[in-house]
């Protein structure tokens, strides 16, 4: 049972990583914690379902959701956060605005589609050493590994990655040095859209999404940002896997009903001992 | 008439809850998402205490203040270590822990089934009418407003708190000890939230975990934004908007099946528009330096 829980934790960690990395990229470039991504996730899920019905091809449907994601994210930034930025709103106001945007998106999607869960059942499960693993989840972990490799290359070897790391460390200084952050924002939106489209496709094929379930995916992503440390993409991914594994391992000791509460309680204790995050230096916390 | 009394009671209860959120955000500068969770502790604590001490006793209401106070004192040691998104994430984790406890601790909370007949168990059968709840809420809210105004908004203590919020290092250099003052304010805010939760449960006559969800915490922060951060009058106006606005939307000719969701979407839209057009709220915070010089 413990092995099954570990495998489930790794799969969950892959899901959370693919959500927390877009959150990190957007936060690093805009300094806005876009919790409204939960609403975007729901929109993408419905778009994916429609495109699957039209094309009967999963990868084509995933590709089709990418431009939708880019448009919605740009729409949110230009309609809500840039006007607030012009008025010199503080990060707290941006966060509340992001939550308000989420409320709008979720309820509009519910009005348009209704209470049904978007689920396109796909793939079968295999049994390995007494464990049951969905083939879909094996593909997900492989896709995540590929994405991580690609992202690490991007962050270490390209202009985008190096500038993004600099912006994540000190936004004002990089702006003073002449870095055009709007261009960087656009690039991180494109990258985030690709990752979000992939993860949403997997969620729709695996467990399904309803109008109000976007937060269940995005909030662990937000917590990963904090638990990992948030200054580097690698630490965010470590945070995601910690949450994924922890949320499964607590089931070894406690009933399912207490899973969420116990997971967050353990995370709180960990954060009390390491307030700067598990995988980073403490300086960045104070800067943010 | 009964409808008006109900709206007025809700506005009063929410005034107390928004005041609690405003004390944390406006006065301490700490944005937390766990206000609804503390309100839940107060509500469930009062209901559980009423089982032992019986209705028509002040003890359940005292428990609704003491329990959140004790827990918030422990929580404060954790939250004070964090700022910005870290603080928000920590408070979110606390809110989730509390929500999970409300939903899973069947012996105390009855989980999602909820507890009915709260008024009778808290106030006794004789005082379980709408007017009785309104009267009790009025007394509590007026007392809380007077106390907050004297201590946190106009008094010397309020000025010191705001100086800590603006520049903690400068405040320390003047011999102020921020931690003690911040912890007292944090606990006071949780006491208000707990009492507000107990009153909300009495007002609704029913309580289940969804009453104290993350959405409710966000609604309270929305009330703070609409009214004005750090402004007591703003808290009252924010609460009124929070209660009256959805009620006004009720009178719009909207289709019944989609009414609730359309109302929520409109509420979100109004909040965004409000943040963009009036970021400081309906009643912006008084310039406390001007206030200080006026005093001296």
What are A134-174's pLDDT values in tens digits? 888 888 899 999 999 998 888 888 888 888 888 877 777 88
pLDDT value, residue A284:
46
In a mutational test of the B interface, the residue from A39, A83, A90, A96 whose CB has the highest number of chain B CBs within 10 Å is A96
Is B276 an interface residue toward A (CB < 8 Å)? yes
- Closest alpha carbon to A132 in A259, A256, A8: A8
Is A111 an interface residue toward B (CB < 8 Å)? yes
Nearest to B222 among A96, A223, A258 (CB): A96
pLDDT value, residue B274:
85
**C-alpha distance across the termini of chain B, in Å:** 48
A100: burial class by Cβ within 10 Å (0-12, 13-18, 19+)?
buried
Assign A286 a pLDDT band (cuts: 50, 70, 90).
very low
pLDDT value, residue A123:
67
Is B100 an interface residue toward A (CB < 8 Å)? yes
Distance CA A212, CA A108 (A): 11
- Are residues B261 and A110, on separate chains, in Cβ contact within 8 Å? yes
pTM of the model: 0.86
pLDDT at A192 over 90: yes
Is B267 an interface residue toward A (CB < 8 Å)? yes
Specify which residues A125 forms β-bridges with.
A134
Question: Which residues from A are below 8 Å from B103, CB to CB?
Answer: 257
- Are residues B100 and A264, on separate chains, in Cβ contact within 8 Å? yes
Question: Which residues from A are below 8 Å from B268, CB to CB?
Answer: 100-104, 107
B277/chain A closest Cα distance in angstroms: 9
pLDDT at A282 over 50: no
Collapse the DSSP code of B23 into the 3-class scheme (helix H, G, I; strand E, B; otherwise coil) and give the result: helix
Is A93 an interface residue toward B (CB < 8 Å)? yes
- Are residues A100 and B271, on separate chains, in Cβ contact within 8 Å? yes
Note whether B188 and B199 are within 8 A (CB): no
Predicted interface score ipTM higher than 0.85: no
Q: Which residue has the higher pLDDT, A180 or A81?
A: A81
Is B94 an interface residue toward A (CB < 8 Å)? yes
Q: Which residue has the higher pLDDT, A1 or A17?
A: A17
Specify which residues A118 forms β-bridges with.
A209
Is B167 an interface residue toward A (CB < 8 Å)? no
Nearest to A257 among B82, B92, B104 (CB): B104
pLDDT at A27 over 60: yes
B17/chain A closest Cα distance in angstroms: 17
B155/chain A closest Cα distance in angstroms: 26
Question: Which residues from A are below 8 Å from B90, CB to CB?
Answer: 226, 268, 271
**pLDDT (tens place) for every residue of chain B, 296 residues total:** 788 888 999 999 999 999 999 998 888 888 888 999 999 999 999 999 888 877 667 788 899 999 999 999 988 888 888 887 788 888 988 998 999 999 998 888 888 888 888 888 888 777 777 888 888 889 989 998 988 888 888 778 888 888 888 888 888 888 888 888 889 999 999 999 999 999 999 999 899 998 998 888 888 988 898 888 888 888 899 999 888 887 887 777 777 667 777 777 887 888 888 888 888 888 887 765 566 566 55
- Are residues A103 and B265, on separate chains, in Cβ contact within 8 Å? yes
Assign A11 a pLDDT band (cuts: 50, 70, 90).
very high
Mean pLDDT of A191-201: 93
B268/chain A closest Cα distance in angstroms: 5
Distance CA A257, CA B103 (A): 8
Nearest to A264 among B82, B96, B258 (CB): B96
CA-based radius of gyration for chain A: 19
Spatial neighbors of B261 by CB under 8 A, at least 6 apart, are: A107, A110, A111
- Are residues B265 and A100, on separate chains, in Cβ contact within 8 Å? no
Q: What single DSSP character describes residue A276?
A: T
Distance CA A225, CA A24 (A): 7
pLDDT value, residue A283:
42
Question: Which residues from B are below 8 Å from A251, CB to CB?
Answer: none
Total CB pairs under 8 A between chain A and B: 126
Residues 67-86, chain B, touching A (beta carbon < 8 A):
78, 81-86
């Amino acid at each position: 049972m413990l092995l099954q829980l570990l495998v489930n934790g790794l799969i969950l960690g892959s899901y959370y990583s693919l959500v927390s990395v877009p959150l990190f990229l957007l936060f690093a470039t805009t300094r806005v914690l876009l919790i409204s991504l939960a609403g975007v996730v729901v929109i993408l899920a419905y778009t994916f379902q429609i495109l699957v019905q039209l094309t009967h091809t999963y990868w084509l449907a995933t590709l089709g959701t990418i431009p939708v994601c880019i448009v919605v994210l740009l729409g949110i930034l230009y309609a809500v956060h840039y006007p607030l930025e012009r008025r010199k709103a503080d990060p707290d106001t941006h966060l509340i605005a992001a939550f308000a945007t989420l409320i709008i998106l979720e309820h509009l999607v519910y009005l348009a589609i209704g209470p049904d869960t978007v689920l396109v059942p796909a793939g079968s499960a295999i049994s390995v050493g007494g464990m049951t693993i969905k083939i879909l989840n094996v593909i997900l972990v492989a896709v995540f590994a590929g994405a991580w490799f690609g992202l690490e290359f991007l962050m270490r070897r390209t202009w985008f990655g190096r500038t993004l790391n600099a912006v994540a460390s000190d936004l004002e200084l990089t702006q003073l040095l002449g870095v055009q952050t709007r261009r960087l924002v656009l690039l991180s939106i494109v990258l985030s859209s690709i990752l979000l489209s992939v993860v949403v496709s997997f969620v729709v094929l695996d467990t399904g999404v309803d109008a109000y379930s976007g937060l269940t995916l995005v909030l662990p992503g937000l917590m990963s940002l904090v638990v990992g440390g948030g200054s580097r993409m690698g630490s965010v991914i470590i945070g995601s896997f910690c949450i994924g594994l922890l949320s499964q391992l607590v089931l070894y000791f406690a009933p399912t009903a207490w899973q969420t509460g116990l997971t967050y309680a353990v995370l709180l204790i960990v954060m009390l001992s390491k307030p700067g995050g598990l995988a980073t230096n403490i300086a960045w916390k104070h800067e943010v | 008439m009964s409808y008006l009394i109900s709206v007025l009671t809700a506005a009063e209860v929410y005034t107390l809850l928004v005041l609690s959120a405003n004390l944390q955000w406006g006065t301490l500068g700490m944005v937390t998402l766990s206000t609804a969770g503390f309100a839940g502790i107060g509500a469930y604590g009062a209901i559980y205490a009423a089982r032992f001490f019986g209705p028509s006793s002040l003890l359940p209401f005292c428990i609704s203040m003491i329990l959140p106070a004790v827990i918030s004192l422990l929580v404060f040691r954790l939250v004070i270590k964090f700022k910005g998104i870290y603080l928000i994430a920590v408070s979110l984790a606390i809110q989730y822990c509390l929500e999970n406890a409300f939903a899973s601790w069947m012996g105390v909370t009855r989980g999602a089934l909820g507890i009915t007949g709260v008024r009778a168990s808290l106030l006794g059968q004789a005082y379980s009418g709408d007017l009785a709840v309104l009267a009790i809420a009025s007394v509590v809210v007026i007392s809380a407003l007077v106390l907050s105004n004297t201590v946190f908004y106009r008094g010397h203590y309020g000025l010191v708190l705001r100086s800590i919020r603006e520049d903690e290092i400068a405040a320390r250099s003047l011999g102020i000890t921020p931690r003690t003052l911040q912890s007292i304010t944090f606990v006071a805010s949780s006491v208000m939230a707990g009492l507000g939760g107990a009153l909300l449960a009495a007002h609704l006559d029913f309580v289940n975990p969804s009453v104290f969800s993350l959405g409710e915490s966000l609604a309270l922060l929305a009330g703070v934004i609409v009214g004005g951060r750090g402004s007591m009058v703003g808290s009252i106006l924010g609460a009124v908007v929070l209660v009256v606005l959805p009620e006004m939307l009720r009178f719009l000719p909207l289709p019944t099946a989609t009414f609730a969701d359309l109302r929520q979407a409109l509420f979100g839209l109004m909040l965004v528009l409000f943040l963009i057009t009036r970021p400081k709220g309906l009643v912006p915070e008084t310039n406390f330096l001007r206030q200080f010089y006026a005093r001296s």
